[in-house]
Amino acid sequence: MIGVLALSGAVLVCVLAARLAFKRRALRCFNQPPQRNWILGHMGLMGNNEEGLQAVDEIIRRYVHSCAWYLGPFYNMVRLFHPDYVKSLLTASASITFKDRIFYGFMKPWLGNCLLLQNGQEWSRHRRLLTSAFHFDILKKYVLIFNQSSNKMHDKWRHLLAAGQNDLDMFEHMSSLTLDSLLKCTFSCDSQCPGKPREYIAAILQLSTLVVQRQHYLPHHWDWLYWRSEQGRRFRKACDIVHGFTADIVRERRLQLDQQGSAKSRSANQEHTGGYKKKDTDLIDLLLLSKDENGEGLANEEIQAHADMFMFAGHDTTASALSWIFYNLSMHQDYQDRCRAEVTSLLQDRETDDITWDDLRQLTFTTMCIKESLRLHPPVLALTRYFSQDMKTPGDLVIPQGSLCLISIYGIHRNPVIWSDPEVFDPMRFDPQRPKERSPHAFIPFSAGPRNCIGQNFAMAEIKVVVAQTLSRFRILPGPKPVRRLYNLVMRAEGGMILNFQPLALSQDQ
């Protein structure tokens, strides 16, 4: 018996080793950065902290467009950090590119079978359905809410500043703000919203950290081991908090809709009062009321999964973007002053200092600073895809079918071949007057192609409102400590990001 087991074990190891050697051979045409050893490959060579990101910078400088990367004995991947090399992947139809298990699958127990993790036909059907929730006519309505959320945050800051607390943790404040506006805009929640947002935000942070830890620790790739580990237990607990929070919100809205009458009578009512249009419907109502061509609505689990996804994808990314924009402006007072002058001149002679939908287009220089910050500190650093057929890259390299491709947004945004002095914050790169010589895939904070970010316009509108209002009321100065980057699903800062705020009326150089 022992002999049979040993023999089977040996055969299995040989098969795995042969498979591994075959796959690695197929990637031989790509540059091969030095590995730790044959088994671990490049696993653990790059952390998710400041030093890890500096190591990525080095790889980009050295290999310019792409390189092979081996994550332990099972995952072989090609890292791509040049726009010409990612173009075919990003523009490919969603029926031939797929999301993988290691980078996306570990989020499944948390986000369920949501748009972000779906593939093929299922994804197309849901994407079509959800796109109407981000129509411009709906986004216009949200600008008022963005102003209100930002006013509420600034009131709180005024109290803190009056009490001498001028050092504020950006991630803490931006997460509360973006969650607040997301709940109001897309989940129709007013101030009576059920649940504890603070607890929810803390659980999201924990889940993000745990997903990245799991990606980096090979033994935890096995479900069996992971769910018995301390991290697995913490993951489940945080998932319970997050699911409970969204479930309460969905339940509450369902109740309200039931009180207003069935979906059918509601749509009939609206027809009566001017027409029920999909493009006028909030996301949560769309999830609860939509029917496809066959008259089928979304199942409860699908609604829950999409709600969980929007809550995470919609608030954490935007909070990261805002935090890094304020950081970059605190480090560049000249650009901060120029943005402030633009906002002040826009608001001159107005009765309120609310930013309107039409104002967003007038904030030219502020938008240039926002884009430059999204380039230098993209909230999402990388995407991965499987390609279901061989893919040719420039230089006639072939990524074999079934290889994992990592599209490094961070790498593309910091590639010195594309951007001169890439580590310098220079908003003039996005001057609309300057002719654009770059590839359209050189700047992709929201990804690109059919699977780009569905909430891109929502996020940009919110960011512009919050930045404009904040600059018109406060001066932002660097915090007491240097900021160190930390990547946990979105770009964060180690130990938080502390910046110093001065109310403008008290500022000497206003």
Indicate whether 447 belongs to the interface with ligand HEM (CB under 6 A): yes
Q: Going by C-beta distance under 8 Å and a sequence separation of 6 or more, which residues neighbour residue 109?
A: 235, 236, 239
- Tokens standing for residue 160: 């803190």
For the chain, the farthest-separated pair of C-alpha atoms sits apart, in whole angstroms, at: 89
Closest CA relative to residue 497, chosen from 486, 508, 483:
483
**Cβ-defined contacts of 333-340 (< 8 Å, 24+):** 335/369, 335/425, 335/427, 336/471, 336/475, 336/476, 338/365, 339/365, 339/366, 339/369, 339/467, 339/468, 339/471, 340/471, 340/472
Give the separation between CA 107 and CA 96, rounded to whole angstroms. 22
Indicate whether 53 belongs to the interface with ligand HEM (CB under 6 A): no
Q: Number of residues in contact with ligand HEM, rule: CB under 6 A? A: 23
**Cβ-defined contacts of 347-353 (< 8 Å, 24+):** 347/472, 353/469, 353/472, 353/473
Closest CA relative to residue 184, chosen from 171, 200, 197, 198:
197
Indicate whether 250 belongs to the interface with ligand HEM (CB under 6 A): no
161 or 406, CB closer to ligand HEM?
Answer: 406
Binding to ligand HEM (CB under 6 A) within 117-136 occurs at: 127
Give the separation between CA 6 and CA 9, rounded to whole angstroms. 5
Q: Is 239 annotated as a binding residue?
A: no
CB of 454 to ligand HEM, least distance (A): 5
Indicate whether 459 belongs to the interface with ligand HEM (CB under 6 A): yes
Indicate whether 383 belongs to the interface with ligand HEM (CB under 6 A): yes
The correct pick among 33, 41, 314, 479 for binding ligand HEM (CB under 6 A) is 314
Q: Which stretch binds ligand HEM (CB under 6 A): 18-26, 311-319, 415-423, 475-483?
A: 311-319
232 or 427, CB closer to ligand HEM?
Answer: 427
Q: Which stretch binds ligand HEM (CB under 6 A): 78-86, 135-143, 224-232, 443-451?
A: 443-451
CB of 114 to ligand HEM, least distance (A): 7
Contact by Cβ (8 Å): 392, 400: no
- The 57-96 contact track toward ligand HEM, x by CB under 6 A, reads ----------------------------------------
- Tokens standing for residue 311: 């809550």
232 or 323, CB closer to ligand HEM?
Answer: 323
Give the separation between CA 140 and CA 361, rounded to whole angstroms. 13
Cα angle 133, 139, 140; round to 5: 145
Residue 145 has φ and ψ, to the nearest 5°, of -65, -40
26 or 370, CB closer to ligand HEM?
Answer: 370
Give how far Cα 271 sits from Cα of 79, 264, 331, 449, Å. 52, 11, 53, 35
Give how far Cα 191 sits from Cα of 49, 129, 152, 196, 486, Å. 37, 28, 12, 12, 32
The correct pick among 281, 304, 318, 408 for binding ligand HEM (CB under 6 A) is 318
Indicate whether 380 belongs to the interface with ligand HEM (CB under 6 A): yes
The correct pick among 201, 313, 360, 391 for binding ligand HEM (CB under 6 A) is 313
Indicate whether 116 belongs to the interface with ligand HEM (CB under 6 A): yes
The correct pick among 309, 404, 493, 498 for binding ligand HEM (CB under 6 A) is 309
- The 157-196 contact track toward ligand HEM, x by CB under 6 A, reads -----------------------------x----------
Give the three-class secondary structure for 207. helix
232 or 425, CB closer to ligand HEM?
Answer: 425
Q: Which stretch binds ligand HEM (CB under 6 A): 228-236, 262-270, 387-395, 440-448?
A: 440-448
Binding site for ligand HEM (CB under 6 A): 115-116, 127, 186, 309-310, 313-314, 317-318, 321, 379-380, 383, 445-447, 451, 453-455, 458-459
- Which residues does the annotation place in the binding site? 453
Question: Binding-site residues for heme, please?
Answer: 453
